[in-house]
Structure 1
Amino acid sequence: MPNYSEKPTIIFDMDGTLLDLAYDDFIWNELLPIRYAEQHNCTLEQSTQTLFHFYQQHNHTLKWYSTRFWTSQVGVDVLALQVEHKHKVAKREGCIELLSYLKDNGYPIWLATNADYAGLQFKLEETGLRDYFDVIVSSETLGHAKEFIEFWQALQQEYAFDPAHCYFIDDTEKVLNGAQQFGIEQLYSIQQPSSGKAPRETCNFPMLSSLIDLIPILERNDLAMSEEQKKYA
């Protein structure tokens, strides 16, 4: 019989889920092409095409998320670039309200991100979110990107959790597919990961318009679990 006295574990992605993806879009799609063009004495159009090719080649791999890799690949200190514009890092609306609600109500709160360790530490310091989480994991430390079931297997070995008794919220559908393959059932996406882009219209997973939309979902499920518990009383 399930242990209904335990709150489900809530696992969050970071960029595009708790944090506004507009910052990352600015760094990678606007600023880096300019710096690359300056560094390599080429046109902005050439720079953009070259970087797009790099991005496509390494998308959804650990290299894609590594600031060290990109620094060596493009000749621009990508982490320094992010720190230089740290004032643009922003929490998505409802982020603090949701995390505070979860903490006050005894939910285990985890952060599972593909951001490399250096980028993760930078954003945790800049946002002040570190103390909300019971577990913080970068895919770099587990050796697999979240898109793949091996990440979730490694996470479970490192920090035991029941995939049937947790929620995972992420803005990337391929990541959610990997979590689903592992066995996580309560999966939610984000309707508008970046404030600089229009909300998405379709997704294969239910989307949260606002982060606090998760609160009534949890409350309804808590009520259903309480009713189920009464059957065993």
Structure 2
Amino acid sequence: MFDMDGTLLDLAFDDLIWNQKLPERHATTHQCSLEQSHAILHAFYQEHKHTLSWYSSDYWTSKVGVNVLALQYEFQDRIQPRQGCFELLEQLKAQGYKCWLMTNADCASLKLKLENVDLRPYFEVIISSEEIGYSKEFVEFWQIVQQQHPFEPRQAFLIDDTVPVLKGAANFGIENLITILQPSTLKAAKNALEMEYPAILNLTELLPYLDQYQKELDAKTA
């Protein structure tokens, strides 16, 4: 199970939209200073962080008076895969792994991302939390997903750059959790020793974890 933004795709696009372009457009629209715009938006972000509203283009459009989805389309050429994305997905497909894409991006943003980086051929299940009614941070998200697409939590791997999402998955019972050292190329990579979960930089670094897990399974059944 893969997250999208910051895991398969470079979070630099979202950083650009939310931390630079939206404050600029908001300041112009409401005729305030850029500093005031940053302060207003930061307060809004903190109020709604990790909720479905946080991930909703429609919500932010109505909240801040700027068409957020149109803003994303305006800069869609900046949507890029992370290092090792397609190399990993090709290898997983060749090895017969079942891959699911699980994103908190709303359906409209998911559509935009997939139009620019076509991940669809590699995934048998693609889910936006908007369709589920809960963001991935909540156990309810995973409960509903399991009802719709039955899976064994102890055998699943989840790769996600957001710690609250990994904790929500852990609370549900997913045991194999991997995070990302550099979700955005606009920011420096994190220190793996300071991470709460095993962490990878290039996505192909996931393969040794899968190999080790398979060896342990083989040893148990031998």
TM class, shorter-length: over 0.9
Distance 2:38 2:82 in 1: 28
**Superposition deviation, residue 229 in structure 1:** 2.7
Structure 2 residue 208 is matched with structure 1 residue 216: yes
Shift of 1:216: 1.4
- Distance in 2 (CA, whole Å) between partners of 1:222 and 1:187 is 15
> Structure 1: which amino acid aligns with 2:198?
P
Ranges in structure 1 where 5+ consecutive residues have no aligned partner: 1-10
1:187 aligns with 2:177: yes
Which of 61, 71, 75 lines up with 1:71 in the alignment?
61
How does 1:104-143 map onto structure 2 within 5 Å?
104-143=94-133
The 8 Å contact of residues 173 and 203 in structure 1, kept in 2 or not, is answered as no
Residue 35 (structure 2) aligns with: 45
Letter in 2 for 1:101: Q
Cα distance in 1, alignment partners of residues 159 and 210 from structure 2:
13
| 2:90 aligned with 1:100 | yes
Give the 3-state SS of the residue equivalent to 1:12 in structure 2.
coil
**Which residue of structure 2 lines up, in the alignment, with residue 82 of structure 1?**
72
Alignment partner, residue 19 of structure 1: 9
TM, length-normalised to structure 2: 0.97
Report Cα offsets for 1:164-193 as digits up to 9, x if no partner.
Answer: 111000000011000000000000000111
Structure 1 distance, partners of 2:26, 2:216, is: 54
Q: How far did 1:228 drift?
A: 2.8
The alpha carbon displacement at 1:223 in A equals 2.4
Counterpart residue type for residue 227 of structure 1: A
Distance 2:155 2:166 in 1: 16
Give the superposition deviation at 1:220. Answer: 2.1
Larger radius of gyration: 1
Equivalent in the alignment of 1:58: 48
CA distance in 1, matches of 2:129, 2:145: 9
2:220 alignment partner in structure 1: 228
Residue of structure 2 equivalent to 1:162:
152
CA distance, structure 2, for counterparts of residue 188 and residue 81 of structure 1: 31
In structure 2, stretches of 5+ residues that fail to align are none
Is the 1:191–1:199 Cα contact (8 Å) retained in structure 2? yes
1:224, CA displacement in angstroms?
2.6
Counterpart amino acid of 2:94? D
Per mean C-alpha deviation after superposition, the further-off stretch among 149-158 and 220-229 is 220-229
Q: Which amino acid aligns with 1:98?
A: L
- In structure 1, how many angstroms separate the alpha carbons of the residues matched to 2:221 and 2:92? 21
Match of 1:196 among 186, 190, 199: 186
Following superposition, the deviation at residue 131 of structure 1 comes to 1.2
Q: Distance in 1 between matches of 2:5 and 2:34?
A: 26
Give me the identity figure in percent.
52
Deviation string, structure 1 residues 66-118 (Cα, Å, up to 9, x no partner): 00000111111111111110110010000000111111111000000000011
Shift in Å at residue 148 of structure 1?
0.8
Q: CA deviation at 1:195?
A: 0.7
Q: How many angstroms does 1:217 deviate by?
A: 1.4
Superposed displacement of residue 226, structure 1: 2.4
SS of structure 1 residue aligned to 2:126: strand
Aligned to 1:7: none
From 149, 173, 191, give the equivalent of 2:163: 173
2:97 partner amino acid = Y
Aligned length: 220
**Deviation (angstroms), 1:227:** 3.0
